[in-house]
Structure 1
Amino acid sequence: MKHFLLVILALACGAVLILGNLYWQDRTGQTKENTKVESKSMSTEAPKDIEKKEDQKEEKEKDISTNWPDNAKDLYKKRVEDEEAFKISIIGSPALGASEGGWAPQLKETLLSAYGDSVQVKIDEWNTTSVEFVNSSDADDALKEAPDLVLWEPFTLVDNSNGVGPIQNHESILIFDRKLHEANEEATLILQPPHPIENATYYPLNVDELKAFAQEEGFTYLDHWSEWPKDDSLSEYLIDSQDTPNAKGYTLWKNYLADYFIED
């Protein structure tokens, strides 16, 4: 009887050991499988998340530059892919307000806020005529960094005040455009008029001719005059001498340009 009980006890212990081992193997197998699945999930989802963010970034960049000329958009995309900054130059007369918080520095800050470090923005302001500008070192200084896009207010109001006619103004634009493409053959030149003024006779005609010239030569022309008042309230947007806009006028001008360069 004693031997029989020992045999039964031994069998019971063996059964416990076998069942315990099987249970341990089952639990270990599940843990390894879960770890494998989790690891696989992490390795496949993380790159997708990164790719999605990059696609969203590219889509945003493409959308907000949708108003730009096609060659400028293409070059901007190329610069982004090459991780280089797209260079924008804003050039013109004192109507830019470069040193007094005018539309040009306001637009620069707006562009940098929207495009980040994918763009560089430079402002060059001269109190000169278009003829003097293109025939002096001023134009060379403006182009020494080979900008990708130039937004130019080609001194039309200064020219009008100093006896430089539309034909000379237009010739100066063509000279500058040639110099621009010598510095950067992929560059884009965009033209715009200065601000409107009150009680002018010949100046508005000069601006009309500038617009027609731009269309004939294939330049993009930003006609912000469409946003300025056509009545006596225009004086509320200009300083007393009318040489430049005031703060209200600068804001109006900047808003028009921001809407063009940054498509919401």
Structure 2
Amino acid sequence: MRYGRVIVPIVFLGCIVVLITSYSIWKSKIEMVKGETNNSQTEQRTLIEEDKEKTELESPKVAPTISRETIEQAIVNADEPVQEIVLNRFDAGEQVQMLIVGSTAMDDGSPGYAKLLTDELANTYGSFLETSVASFDGTSKNFIEEKMDEIDWTKAYDLVLYEPFTLNNNGKVKIEDEHKHIQVLEEKMLAEVSDAVLVLQPSYPIYEAAFYLVQIEALEKYAKGKAYPFINHWSSWPSTSDENLTTFLTEDNSPNEEGAKLWASSLINYFTAK
């Protein structure tokens, strides 16, 4: 009986010791796990911050190169739809993508009007507006069937300045068909950018034009009827009945250097107010 009385307290004390020891070991493991977790999280945060700093160094943020006020002043001569889309893109912090498309006459003059215009757009808008150029030597029918799908429409053009090949169409494409081709181009443009704006301009004038004048008048009337922005650069050229017009054209009736400058001046004034 005495042994039993002695053993019971000893066993009881042993159990307490075991419990205390187990608790201490468990607590130590918990602290160790917490420490490892905190270290892991700290290391992850450090790596994330280092990667962020590395990314910022490799791809620095581009500061705005133009103010809204400057844009408003530059587009004051443009039609309202053009002004709206340019300002909307600026307010959204987006770049404007512009496409100039038309006949190879845009390259005549060394440099041609397309080069003169794109240079002035870059000087005015900087990186805010990016310009692409697509010229084609053929009719509007040829363009729609052969060239239009070769344009990189994935660039999502917000503005398209289009010369609908009216001079090349002379005697080859009906006026009504030329207008249908404009609609086809617009549909392609809007399929990529739902609020894109199509701006029309006529081909250049030639001396003693005949039926060509009827085509140009029909184009302007069509543009007004469909509410397309229309740049009538013919007002900057001498009349088609004025022999002075030939001083702006080559012997082949293409724009020469002075003709290209004259043509470009109207477009530059429209898009940049210069």
**TM-score band, normalised by the shorter chain?**
0.7 to 0.9
1:189 corresponds to: 198
Q: Aligned residues, how many?
A: 207
State the Cα deviation string for residues 148-207 of structure 1 (Å, max 9, x = none). Answer: 00111010001115x112111011011111111111111000001111011221111101
Q: For 1:176-255, what aligned pairs fall within 5 Å after superposition?
A: 176-230=185-239, 231-242=242-253, 244-255=254-265
1:208 partner amino acid: E
> Does the CA-based 8 Å contact 1:98-1:123 persist in structure 2?
no
Aligned with 1:166 (options 146, 163, 175): 175
| 1:192 to 1:65, Cα distance in 2 relative to 1, 3 A | same
Q: For 1:45-64, what aligned pairs fall within 5 Å after superposition?
A: 57-64=67-74
2:141 partner amino acid: V
Name the CA distance, whole Å, in 2 between partners of 1:205 and 1:69: 25
SS of equivalent to 1:215 = helix
Gaps of 5+ in 2: 1-63
1:87 partner amino acid: Q
SS of equivalent to 1:185 = coil
SS of equivalent to 1:124 = strand
Aligned with 1:122 (options 116, 132, 142): 132
2:56 corresponds to: none
Name the CA distance, whole Å, in 1 between partners of 2:224 and 2:98: 22
Computed over aligned residues only, the root mean square deviation of the Cα atoms, in angstroms, reads 1.8
Q: CA deviation at 1:98?
A: 6.8
Q: CA deviation at 1:99?
A: 9.0
Q: CA deviation at 1:262?
A: 1.0
Name the CA distance, whole Å, in 2 between partners of 1:212 and 1:149: 21
SS of equivalent to 2:202 = coil
1:110 corresponds to: 120
2:34 corresponds to: none
Q: CA deviation at 1:121?
A: 0.6
| 1:98 to 1:233, Cα distance in 2 relative to 1, 3 A | closer
Aligned with 1:145 (options 146, 151, 155): 155
Q: CA deviation at 1:213?
A: 0.7
Name the CA distance, whole Å, in 2 between partners of 1:212 and 1:132: 23
Structure whose alpha-carbon radius of gyration is higher? 2
Percentage of identical aligned residues: 29
1:204 partner amino acid: L
Q: CA deviation at 1:236?
A: 0.3
> Does the CA-based 8 Å contact 2:108-2:257 persist in structure 1?
no
